[in-house]
Structure 1
Amino acid sequence: MRASSQIGCSMKVCGVEISSNDVNLCLLSLTDELFELPDCRSRRLTLKDINSTRELRYFQQTFAKLMQDYQVDRVVIRQRPMKGKFAGGAVGFKLEAAIELISDLDVIIMSTTDIKESLKRNPMQIAYADTDLKAYQEVAFNTAYAYLMKDKYAAQEG
């Protein structure tokens, strides 16, 4: 059963968009069908030296600590194509793997098709500009919102 259909239940997710060596983040919680954008000390994490194992481990530890501190239930990463015009780069896939390998962290990859379908079925009730989020967080926000709403008005079969 979805968290939003149970009174008193809540879910906090972290939407993630990976762009080059940056990870853009957006925390979003849903409690009793009410959304909240919790304050977060980091909106973007950057891998400074892409060739340093130490830096990659530091990134992974920083991300894990952030998710632990904010008691995130699930991390939702926007899927990137592996080939073609809009393919993700090697560094991005390295960051994605570092996040996925964090123990005790529930991570899922959500396809852009699923995100678009969820947003189409469940349009935003306010303008993104009214959220007080940074422009670079919009994709991460849409990913988190689409995940939380994905089962709300599921596509009708038949």
Structure 2
Amino acid sequence: MTIMKVLFLISFLFVNIAKDNKKSEMANSSASDKIVGTWLSADKDLKVEIFNKKGHYFGKVVWFACLPSTPNMDDFKDTENPDPKLRTRKWLGMEVVKNLTYNGESEWKNGTVYDPNSGRKYSSVVRLKDNSTLIVRGYWGIELFGKNLEFHRVN
């Protein structure tokens, strides 16, 4: 075999390996992005938009129910936050889910979820029960000591 044929075969193999790796990355990205979208809580009092930012998943408040006796949605502030500098930020648009990473099994882990009602931040794991149902578990310490919130896809 001539040197040109060997070089051609090697370059052909590298190109095909790169294509296969790209396809694998795209399939994994597609699977990990299954939680991207807007989700409504089972109690129908909160909408959160989940999005991908540099391979991690975040969620921001896009709507929540307000009682007539309270300020309107745009006026709610993060008054319970332990950091006084953050107490003037609005609930609307606030990132309440941060840094989730996909583990390959319809599960996103190692993130946090923030509760603006209490000002507390919890470790979080998110599981996709099916294409339209998301289970968010917030916990302290170990997952056993936590609480689930169920959300349903709205788009």
Band of TM-score, shorter chain: under 0.3
* Higher share of residues assigned strand: 2
* Higher share of residues assigned helix: 1
Relative contact order: is structure 1 or structure 2 higher (C-alpha 8 Å, sep ≥ 6)?
Answer: 1
Larger Rg: 1 or 2?
Answer: 2
